[in-house]
Structure 1
Amino acid sequence: MQRIEIIANVAAGSVGTDAPAIAERILADHGVAGSVHVPGDDLLACLREVIDSGPDAIYLIAGDGTARAAAELSGPDGPPIAPLPGGTMNMLPRAFYGDRSWPEAMAACLAEGTPRMVSGGEVDGHLFFVAAILGSPALWADAREAARAGKLGLTLQRAQRAFRRAFSGRLRFSLDGRPRQKTEALTLMCPLVSLGLDEDERALEAAALDPANAIEAFRLGFSALTGDWRDDPSVRVERCRVGRVWAAGQIPAILDGEPIRLPSEVQIRFRPRAFRAVSLPA
């Protein structure tokens, strides 16, 4: 690769103000031409400008939201994206680079990274590449992050808010034309991370989560993003390529670690060619 552009979002959870200087040194150490961009208030404009410049690859030092946005903007025909870990959960970076720090992942990608087509999913026009959670367990995401940060008071405050809103309405869904079902929440896993799918399988893994009470909802809300729910007795797992989900009101959701509110009825589908990533050898 002759030219690599780097976007360092110093406002992200674990990037740091020294990230641009460190990234420039790593580029120089590997003899690769490129420049480092520090986005201002308009992050999406920065992403579009860099993608439109047509580099050989774009390296992101940022959080989950920026990684998902860049992959979505670049798409299957744009430059490959290297989502380096700079956020809190780092779902997409971990799927590609394990537990490496962003400098370690960047150096490894420069030394032996290769482009690879990645599949994904789509909910109401929004893409995701790791996992999506639709329904009340998504409300526990804020409490989960406060707990990870060791903030007990904030964890309890957010858990109480999620508890008040949980079980206020169940989801209805139909997958691949099969009969309608009801569930408290629906989780969709992409082949990139699903333990039940081969990486080249052309489908999503869908799991209906039916906790019996708020304690189970809290537990599933903490474990759903890591895939630890697969053997849970309150979970039903199947595969799908297309589907429809609807509820009485707005549907709370998490797409690749980022919370979002969806309308009361959404379409879901599998995307076999979502974007190109900079991947490392297995």
Structure 2
Amino acid sequence: MTRDTFNARQPGYINVDDDTALHYRDWGDGVPLVFLSGWTLNADMWNYQCAPLAAAGFRCVAYDRRGHGRSSDPGRGYDYDTLADDLEAVLAARGLARVTLVGHSFASGEIVRYLSRHGSRRVAGVVLVSPASTPCLLKTADNPGGLDASLFEASIEEMLTSFPDWISRRAEAYFGPGTSHTVIQWTADMMLGASLHAAVQLSRVQMVTDFRRELAAIDVPALVLHGDCDASAPLEITGRPTADALEHATLKVYEGGTHGMYFNHAARVNGDIREFVKRWQA
């Protein structure tokens, strides 16, 4: 089913407004986990977390961000405030409380903005897997360790020239050597299923958003999982500073872990999520 032909009234969709419906899946029963996908990815990226964790007695909810996967592409709302409101709509529609939010890469910013915009009344804890949006990516006078804006703009120009080639040039570094072509193609297909307009808008939003104050205000337990070989979001630029900025955070560094460690280190990621949730939901 394509984004152009879906029926938003059918089961598996949450209507946010007249133009936007979000596709979701809700597997299992028990303590709720809500999974937010990386940039241009969708709920399918979490298959190897949701299936085993649902079997282990957790309730696993994952959804496709607007403009991604099977959700609609309204051509607007590609900003952190709207995405945080979309997350609230999902939690409310599924009647979720005391949830652990699990976000990959770009979704770290969504989770932080959700907590600063909607508070923690529904949230027991957060797990940030390979965070890529936090604390602050752009190099500025008070953030000298950030990245120059020209790097982001060059990447966006490359995407607008040929997004399939943009993906291909980064595939090996994303997963690491030895990853099968089938897995890489599976990921590329997800990414190419996202709206290019959404991808570009969210890249720009990610570049300019400073989450440092918002991170410092978060009062729920947090777990940060990051690989020391992450080429997409280097540990010392995003992972470690994010953990340092959170008052109640634990950082676990995966030796040899890359940005795709939700797949290549799935069993370890699942074990760490399970241990974290059981500790704070006890």
TM-score (norm 2): 0.34
Structure exhibiting the larger radius of gyration computed from Cα positions:
1
Bigger fraction of residues in helix: 2
Bigger fraction of residues in strand: 1
